[in-house]
Amino acid sequence: PTPSLPLTLILAATPSLGIGRAGALPWKSLKADMAFFARVTKRVPGVGGGVGAAGAAGASPSPSPTNRPTKTQNAVIMGRKTWDSIPPRFRPLAGRVNVVVSRSGAVAGLDAAREREKVLVAGGLGEAVGVLQKGVVEEVGVGRVFVIGGASLYEQALRMEGARRVVLTKVGREFECDAFFGVDLEGEGARGKGWVRRSRGQLEEWVGEKVEAGEEAGVGYEFCLFEREG
Ligand code: FOL
């Protein structure tokens, strides 16, 4: 059987795992975290050359000669409400293949968005993964695949075998939230399901940059990596 495409969930959460409030992030802004999110989801690993280097995604299957990718980008899969939550000037997220999951297929602002970058619409997470699994989307090689929320999509992703990794920003204090991440990765339940926290060095190696905890407007934050073993 084809091994499932590795998925990385990326999110920021309060100590009680709050991730959202009224269709937006719970905090006013955590610029350092948002910048980390943008760099990490854009950076394609491997073979020198940097962003857009041909064939940079070591894991992608060999494409047929007729659709050989000339560049590789990571992909971000998001739920329709998360798409709505991104300021129109920032969507689609630049330099990444954007996939929006919408059961009805209705996605606001698509025409304008499509003039900027590739945006795919999938009817479910399985369909989104299936499209990306081919390794090429309209001439663009697919590198890492990130699930960027929200709560419902994270839950579906965690049930998939491909969900190997969570890049979590721990936000140091509580904010009022109405959307939560479903798994306490440091709790007993998660350990039992194979989730382990990796070291800061392993996180740095995976994201390809030094990481440092910090504080912004009195709010502390810390970047963590969890992986599922087995
Ligand atoms: N993961 C982490 N660590 N922090 C987050 O805030 C986060 N947010 C989402 C998913 N994973 C996350 C979903 N929400 C943008 C806005 C909201 C959003 C995700 C992304 C956005 O506009 N991103 C731009 C950068 C904008 C800026 O620099 O202010 C991007 O290019 O990624």
- Can you point out the beta strands (E) in the chain? 7-13, 18-20, 71-79, 97-101, 119-122, 136-137, 140-147, 163-171, 179-180, 195-197, 214-216, 219-228
* pLDDT given for residue 55 in this prediction: 47
Give residue-wise pLDDT tens across range 170-198.
999 999 999 999 999 999 999 999 999 99
Does residue 88 lie within any of the structural domains?
yes
CATH code, 172: 3.40.430.10
Does ligand 1 lie within 6 Å of residue 12's CB atom? Answer: yes
Does ligand 1 lie within 6 Å of residue 32's CB atom? Answer: no
Asked whether 17 and 175 are in contact (CB, 8 A), the reply is no
Does residue 66 lie within any of the structural domains?
no
Does residue 34 lie within any of the structural domains?
yes
Atom nearest to 149 CA in ligand 1 = 10
Tell me, in angstroms, the distance from the centre of ligand 1 to residue 193's CA.
28
Does residue 76 lie within any of the structural domains?
yes
Does ligand 1 lie within 6 Å of residue 185's CB atom? Answer: no
Domain range holding 93? Answer: 7-47+71-228
Give residue-wise pLDDT tens across range 23-41.
999 999 999 999 999 999 9
Does ligand 1 lie within 6 Å of residue 224's CB atom? Answer: no
Does residue 100 lie within any of the structural domains?
yes
64, two tokens: 């047929």
Pocket of ligand 1, candidates 7, 11, 21, 37: which has the most ligand atoms within 8 Å of its Cβ, to mutate? 37
* pLDDT given for residue 4 in this prediction: 86
Does residue 149 lie within any of the structural domains?
yes
Does residue 64 lie within any of the structural domains?
no
* pLDDT given for residue 69 in this prediction: 77
- Domains in the chain: how many in total? 1
Does residue 60 lie within any of the structural domains?
no
Atom nearest to 148 CA in ligand 1 = 10
Tell me, in angstroms, the distance from the centre of ligand 1 to residue 227's CA.
22
* pLDDT given for residue 64 in this prediction: 58
Mode of pairing for the β-strands spanning 140-147 and 7-13: parallel
Give residue-wise pLDDT tens across range 69-85.
789 999 999 999 999 99
Pocket of ligand 1, candidates 9, 27, 31, 34: which has the most ligand atoms within 8 Å of its Cβ, to mutate? 34
Mean pLDDT by groups of 10 residues along the chain of 230 residues: 87 98 97 98 80 51 65 97 96 96 95 89 97 93 97 97 97 98 95 96 98 97 96
* Residue 78: C-alpha distances to residues 20, 89, 143 (Å): 14, 17, 16
Does ligand 1 lie within 6 Å of residue 107's CB atom? Answer: no
